[in-house]
Structure formats: C-alpha cells, structure tokens
Structure 1
Amino acid sequence: RSITIPDKVASIGISAFEGCTNMVMVKMPKALTEIGNYAFKSCTKLAEVQCGEGLSSVGTNVFSGCDSIVNLSLKWTTPPTGFPDMFTENEHLKTNVYVPYGSTEAYKKEEPWSKFLRFYEATEINGIYYTLYDTDHTATVRGYVQDNHDVVVPSKVTANGNDYSVTYVYQAAFASNRNLTSVVLPESVDKLDSFTFSSCPKLHTAILKCNLKTLGWGMFEMSRNLKHVELPATLESVKSEIFSFCFGLQSVTFPNGVKTMGTYIFRECEALESVTLSDSLTSIEDGTFFGCENLNSIELPNSVTELKKKSFDGCTSLATLTIGTGLNSVAIDALASCKNITTVNVGWTDVPPAFGDIFHANVFANATLCVPYGTSNKYKQVNPWSKFQKFEENAPTGIGTIENAADEANMVCDIYALSGVKVATGVYANLMHSGTLPAGIYVARFANGTAKKLIVK
C-alpha cells in the first residue's frame, strides 16, 4: 500500500505502477531523476506523493486518473520548469501542496505547479506536516502523511535544534483521509479550525485533550464510522454541524461549560441513542437532532430556555423527554414529528408555562405526563399540558433521608433525577445493568422507603 522507492533508484519506467489501485503513498528518494510516461496512471487510491529534490525529467500523464491525491510534498526551493501537465484537474483543485519556506510565490509562477490552489510552507516531522514560527516558537499542524492510521499529535516538536509548541490545527488538516482510524490531540492545542476531521471514513475514535473554548464548524462532518469522542473540558461553544452525518456515533457527553451550540449538530446521526447536555446550555438550535431516528431519551437541563425549529425533527424513537424548568419558548415544529414519546417529565412546581400544540396528537393521547407532587391540577388548566390524558405525580424522592437499602439488588425502586423528576422504575439490578440511564447523578427510592444516591458514568 505504501511504497518507498529505494535510495539508489534513479529512474521509474513507463507505466511502472499503472493500475496499482491499492497504492496509498509513494515516497521518492533524492537520487531519483526521471519518471516515465503513465508511471502512476490510474492509481485510484493514491493519497500521498513525496517527490525527491533530484527529480529533473518527468513524462506525460504520470499521475493521470489519480483522483484521490490529498498531499503533494515538493522539496525544490526553486521549482523545476518544463514539466508537462502531470496531474488531472481534480488534483489542481483539492490537493494540499507542501513546499519549502519562502518558495510559494515561485511555485505559483511555474507550470504545472501554478495550477494548484492550496500551497503550504511546511516541514514534515514524524509523519505530520507543520508550519513552524520562529517568532514565538509555535507550530501549526497543516496535515499528515496519508498512510498513518493512529495519530497522536505531540505537544511540542523539535526542528533545527529548536523546540516549537503545537498550538493550532489548521482548517481541514486531517480531512478526507481514507486511512485515519484514531487521533489524540494534546493540551497545548488552543485552536482548531473548521472541518478538521471531516470526511474521514475510517475514523472511529477522537480524543481532544485540547485547551479549547470553541469547536469549529463541521469538525467531524461525514466521518461516518466515528463512535467515540472525548471533548475538551474547557469547551464553551460548539459551531454548527460538527457531527452531521456521523452515522456510527452512539453517544456524546458535553462538558458543563458549553453555553452555545450551533445548528444541525447531530444531523442524520442515525445510531445516536443518548446525549448528555451541558448544564450551562441556553438553547437547542435549529435541527440540532434532525434525523436522529434512534435517539431514545433526552434530558433538557434547567438552563435551556428555547427549542428552535425542527430541533428534534425525525426523532421517531424518542420515548422519554425530560424538560427543565427554564424552558419558555418552543417552536411549533420542534417536537411535532416525535409521535412515539411515552413519558414527558416536567418540573415546574408553580403554574407551568403555556405553549401551543407542541406535541404530536399521539403523545397527548398515549404518553404519561409526570409532574411534581401535588401539581397535576395546575397542569390541567394550561395548554398544552391540559391535553394529556394520563398524569402521574412524582412522589417525594426522600433525598433528605438517604439510607442504605438492604438486599437492594433485587428490590423494585424508582429512579429520580436531582430535579425530583422520576426517570425510571424497575428492579434495581436490572436498571443498573441495562444501560438505560444517561451519565449523571440520581436518587434510587426503594419499595421499603429507603433511598440511596447513584452516580452513573
């Protein structure tokens, strides 16, 4: 899959690698001076080309039909002239071209290099391309060698005897890589641009230890097999569509500092089952959970004041909805397609806010509205709550008198959120091993009147 041409090879013959459809990377030595016509024609998976500085003669259509080249590394400080058009138009439009420092303008004046749109002055260190800045000794990640599968970005790199702190990952630095399976970013990184890991079809794990406040637009968009993500604890803001079309994603936990999230964060995340939202989040934006057909339950923290347009559109498996006491605005189509809700938990102890007909008719007819103890009559006077056919008042939790329950494993219990809302009922052992409770703190109240505090991780 990856080919390193031996150091002593001076020439690659006509059609030498033509049709090698599994080739991903080719690295050429300094001794190589000549490449024949069609040498790499129709290598359809070729993603990384590293040219040696000794190359002086190139045939026609060397890389024709190679429509997947992501990185082209060139080492001439003065670009060679007289090369024929080696590449197809697709490469001109989307390939990252890495050139020596100070040489970009020279490449933009010579064909075929002038046809490329994306030039970066960067250095490759252990398979990652960096731009190094001597003014403040920082490094920016620009991309990485395409045959790497598991990537751990270091907190610092060394070049020419100098250390550089890795602080910035540039826009789309890892995007469209067909081989990347996992990535770890260090705490030293304090900025990630948009689309950093978008369209990486094999990426399944991303651990972001970064010191970030904001995640850029489309961060993991179209990375269809992404399953596990650890977000930075310092996070405060999430831009739009960061997980759109991540079909394999099953659960996400946002750190409690996140105050704002953009639109369509989880668009068409069809495997998504649970999400733990930040206790600081203020609104659920347009289309946040659009098309999340397997989302089973969601708890809106008390900080959320608004559900915007189509925020849960297409969430046909949503069964349990817990609404925090801060909610005061709901778009008419935010929950309209969630017709299979069986339990709605609410926590207003005073007169609940009035909304329009925000639920599907099936929900009014079949779901149970769970309200705080002694408040059902208040809910029966206010729309839309008055339209529910089934009411249940949550009994006091017993939080103030928690004791250890004897033989608790086989006892029936009610599970409450700390807000006092009942979220589950059943045999204690079964509830603890079923995986139905999202991460959080709960109180279990047992049939014998005892209770205990639970932490679900």
Structure 2
Amino acid sequence: MPSVTIPGSVTSIGDQAFKDCSSLLSVTIPDSVTSIEYRVFMGCSSLPSVTIPDSVTSIGGQAFRDCSSLPSVTIPDSVTSIGHLSFMGCSSLTSVTIPEGVMFIGENPFASCSTLVAINVEADNAAFSTLSGVLFNKAHIKNHAFRGCSSLTRVTIPGSVTDIGQHAFQDCISLTRVTIPGSVTDIGRCAFEYCSSLTRITIPDSVTSIHDWVFAGCSSLPSVTIPGSVTSIAQYAFSYCSSLTRALFLGDAPGEFGSHVFRSCADNFTVFHRPGKMGFETICSMYPCALMTTQAGIDMLLLTE
C-alpha cells in the first residue's frame, strides 16, 4: 500500500488505522478530518511527508510514533491538543513549530527524536514556550524535561514558572549557572543532580523545602545560600558537592534536616548562620559551624565557633 487518499466524507481517522504500514509513501488527508486518533500512523517508517489540514484540532497519542523517515511536520494553527508520545521515534525529524492555539501537550511528545535540533513555539502561545530549544509548559518544568542536555550552559527560568520537576536538569554536565525566579515554590528531587559544572545557584525566598538529592554531585559548586523561607532540607540534598566550602543560612535552622545533607563536601566545609538565629544545635553537631553578621547590608563571615 504505497499511497492512500482518504475520502472527503471522513471526519476522524480512527485508532491504529494505518499502524505499521511500513511501505506507505504518501497519504492525503482531506479538510473534512478534525482529529487524528491514537497510533494512526505509528510505524509508517517509509512515510517521507504528511500534510495535516487546517481542519484538524487534535493529534492523538503516538499518532506518528516511529515514522522514522519523516524529516519535518507542519502543525496547523487549528490544532489545540497534541497527545503523549505523538512523534516519538521520528528519528529524521529536525525541527517542529508549535502553533499558538495548542493548549495541551502530552508527556514526551518528541522522545527519541535523535536529530531534532529545536522545538519552536509561536510567541503568542499562552501555555508553552521553549528554553534553549526545548519545550516546556510556561507554569511547570516537567519531570526529566532537560535531563542529559549536555550542551546546556546557562539557564534563566522565566518568571511564569512555579515549579521545577524531578530530575528536570539532571546530568546537564555543561550547565554553569541557573537563575531561579521568585515565582518558583518547589524544586523537585534530583532536579540538578550531577550538574558537575554548576558554579552558581540562587534559591529564591519563595522556596520552603529543598528535596532529596536536588543538588547532589554538583562538584563545582563553591557555596550555597539557604534563604530564611526554607523549613526543610531532605537527605543528601547537597551531598558529593566536593567543592562546596560553605553553606550560608539566612534564617533559623530548618525544622526538618535530613541525613547526609552535606555528605562528602569539601574538607573545609562550614555551615554559617547569623547570630541569634535558632535551632542550629543539631546541624552544628554534624558539621563545623561559624557565625556571620551583617554590616552595611553585607553578610560578613566571623569564624567564632
């Protein structure tokens, strides 16, 4: 079946309609079609192109999965929903543009697209944007969103983002600096684990909990400032940060402080806290402590303990 012309009477292409038609070279979709359902063209590994008409409003989950000969796809402005894994395994796909009307995108729609250089989102899209060519929801950076992006060097997270998912930037080995805005209230576990080139991180006052393994293995990080808003730090949060020499606590000690938070940091690692701040007895029984004070708005370190 080298070619298919779908008649104009069809309004929806049903689940798995052309699944594994590995010899399919051409398909014509009429303007009458409003939805492309689940796994419709999955495994059409010889399909070199497809034109999605302006009438289509939704692309189902895995609809074009493993269409490995597809070099590009134009998603029309009419589309509002793109299902999970919809273009997974399209190993010839080099670029994709998400139109402004898309409000829902399922999990990992472009997973294993090994030649995909960039995902572009039209500027007026209210729900999605791109960061360094990678797709993310404007309010949430999803789990594993940038994991293993080894060429990523600096990240400024937009002020619209409220939470950073688990493992979001894990193994970004070239990442040197991250700016996290005050809109972020939650940073998921392992979010920056093994970012071995990271030299600077700012945790905003909006964050109240630092989850386990968040910055573990950030072996180039020299210092970290814990804002007074933080009430809990989970186990291994800053473990194996071998260059970390100091942690500066601006408020009272967190009420919850996990095991091995600063395990295997630098030999001269020290916890600094301000005079009069409460609750550091437990932390100072685990790690060397010293006081800091504020002069002319600048925190001064005083080695008095």
When the two structures are superposed, what TM-score results if normalisation uses the length of structure 2? Answer: 0.68
Q: Give the 3 Å change call, closer, same or farther, for CA 287–247 of structure 1 in structure 2.
A: same
Is the contact made by 1:370 and 1:421 (CA closer than 8 Å) also made in structure 2?
Answer: no
Q: Which residue of 2 aligns with 1:199?
A: 112
Is the contact made by 1:308 and 1:331 (CA closer than 8 Å) also made in structure 2?
Answer: yes
Cα deviation, 1:74-118, whole Å, max 9, x if unaligned, reads 4476xxxxxxxxxxxxx949999996669xxxxxxxxxxxxxx93
Out of 197, 213, 222, the position equivalent to 1:319 is 222
Alignment of structure 1 residues 372-383 onto 2, 5 Å: 375-376=274-275, 378=277, 382-383=281-282
Unaligned runs of 5+ in 1: 1-49, 53-73, 78-90, 103-116, 157-164, 221-226, 398-419, 423-457
Q: Give the 3 Å change call, closer, same or farther, for CA 180–346 of structure 1 in structure 2.
A: farther
Out of 144, 148, 158, the position equivalent to 2:71 is 148
Structure 1 CA distance, aligned partners of 2:215 and 2:24? 38
Larger Rg: 1
Amino acid of the structure 2 residue aligned with 1:320: S
Cα deviation, 1:398-449, whole Å, max 9, x if unaligned, reads xxxxxxxxxxxxxxxxxxxxxx779xxxxxxxxxxxxxxxxxxxxxxxxxxx
Unaligned runs of 5+ in 2: 8-18, 31-37, 43-47, 301-305
Does 1:255 find its partner at 2:158?
Answer: yes
Structure 2 CA distance, aligned partners of 1:132 and 1:253? 35
Structure 2 CA distance, aligned partners of 1:262 and 1:214? 15
Q: Which residue of 1 aligns with 2:84?
A: 171
Structure 1 CA distance, aligned partners of 2:75 and 2:6? 28
> Residue 328 of structure 1: CA displacement?
0.8
Q: Which residue of 1 aligns with 2:263?
A: 360
User: What is the CA RMSD across the aligned residues, in angstroms?
Assistant: 4.2
> Residue 257 of structure 1: CA displacement?
2.6
> Residue 337 of structure 1: CA displacement?
1.9
1:130 is paired with a residue whose SS is coil
Amino acid of the structure 2 residue aligned with 1:245: G
Out of 30, 39, 42, the position equivalent to 1:118 is 39
Structure 2 CA distance, aligned partners of 1:95 and 1:328? 59
Cα deviation, 1:283-332, whole Å, max 9, x if unaligned, reads 22222122222222211111111122222232222223232222111112
Q: Which residue of 1 aligns with 2:98?
A: 185
- Considering fraction of residues, name the structure with more helix: 1
Q: Which residue of 2 aligns with 1:3?
A: none
Cα deviation, 1:350-401, whole Å, max 9, x if unaligned, reads x4435356223645x5246565xxx33547954425744555445334xxxx
1:119 is paired with a residue whose SS is coil
Alignment of structure 1 residues 9-408 onto 2, 5 Å: 51-52=2-3, 74-75=4-5, 92=20, 118-120=39-41, 127=49, 129-130=51-52, 133=55, 138=57, 140=59, 143=64, 146=69, 148=71, 153=74, 156=77, 165-208=78-121, 209=123, 211-213=125-127, 228-229=132-133, 235-348=138-251, 351-354=252-255, 355=257, 358-360=261-263, 362-363=265-266, 366-367=268-269, 375-376=274-275, 378=277, 382-384=281-283, 387-389=287-289, 391-397=291-297
Is the contact made by 1:289 and 1:313 (CA closer than 8 Å) also made in structure 2?
Answer: yes
Is the contact made by 2:29 and 2:52 (CA closer than 8 Å) also made in structure 1?
Answer: no
Q: Which residue of 2 aligns with 1:84?
A: none
Q: Give the 3 Å change call, closer, same or farther, for CA 320–185 of structure 1 in structure 2.
A: farther
Amino acid of the structure 2 residue aligned with 1:130: I
Number of paired residues?
269
Structure 2 CA distance, aligned partners of 1:203 and 1:182? 6
Is the contact made by 1:97 and 1:119 (CA closer than 8 Å) also made in structure 2?
Answer: no
Q: Give the 3 Å change call, closer, same or farther, for CA 263–310 of structure 1 in structure 2.
A: same
Structure 1 CA distance, aligned partners of 2:108 and 2:22? 14
Amino acid of the structure 1 residue aligned with 2:132: H
Higher relative contact order (CA 8 A, sep 6+): 2
1:322 is paired with a residue whose SS is strand
1:384 is paired with a residue whose SS is helix
1:252 is paired with a residue whose SS is strand
Is the contact made by 1:96 and 1:118 (CA closer than 8 Å) also made in structure 2?
Answer: no
